[in-house]
Structure 1
Amino acid sequence: MQQIQDFFNKIDRTDINENMSNLLSEDIIDSIDIMALVAEIEKYYKKPLKADFIKAENFESFKDIKAMLEIAMR
């Protein structure tokens, strides 16, 4: 989960941590944050994140992001 925290830190969202949930549905993050996260994820993994994975339910919590990355970045 530390890597996900690092992604949030790099987009200047140090206010978000792994104990939070409903990040998108409670307007804690928005589409701009998601696109910035995607850019950081792609930079870290050195490969693009397929559009199929860029959907709201994959960005609701650290757990959801981690699960999505485990599948998307195989």
Structure 2
Amino acid sequence: MQIVKQFFINIERTDIDESMQNLVSEDIIDSIDIMALVAEIEKYYKKPLKAEFITPENFESFEAIKNMIEQAFI
């Protein structure tokens, strides 16, 4: 979970923490934030994130992001 927190820090969204839910559906993050997170994830894992993983549901919470990363890269 710490790596997900670091991704948010890297995109300068330190206002978001792992207790928060519904990040997309409650407009806490937007498509620009999602694309910035995707860029951070791709930079960290040194390979592209397939488009099929880039869905609003996969960015609703830290847990959802972690699960997506595990499916995509691990």
TM-score range, shorter chain: over 0.9
For each residue in 1:28-64, what CA deviation from the matched residue of structure 2 results, as whole angstroms up to 9, or x when unmatched?
A: 0000000000000000000000000000100000000
Give matches, 1:1-40, under 5 Å: 1-40=1-40
Other-structure match for 1:67: 67
Other-structure match for 1:47: 47
The residue identity in structure 2 corresponding to 1:71 is Q
Output the aligned Cα RMSD. Answer: 0.4
Distance 2:9 2:56 in 1: 20
Percent of residue pairs bearing the same amino acid type:
72
The TM-score, its normalising length taken from structure 2, stands at 0.99
Distance 2:63 2:11 in 1: 19
Spell out structure 1 runs of 4+ moving beyond 3 A. none
The TM-score, its normalising length taken from structure 1, stands at 0.99
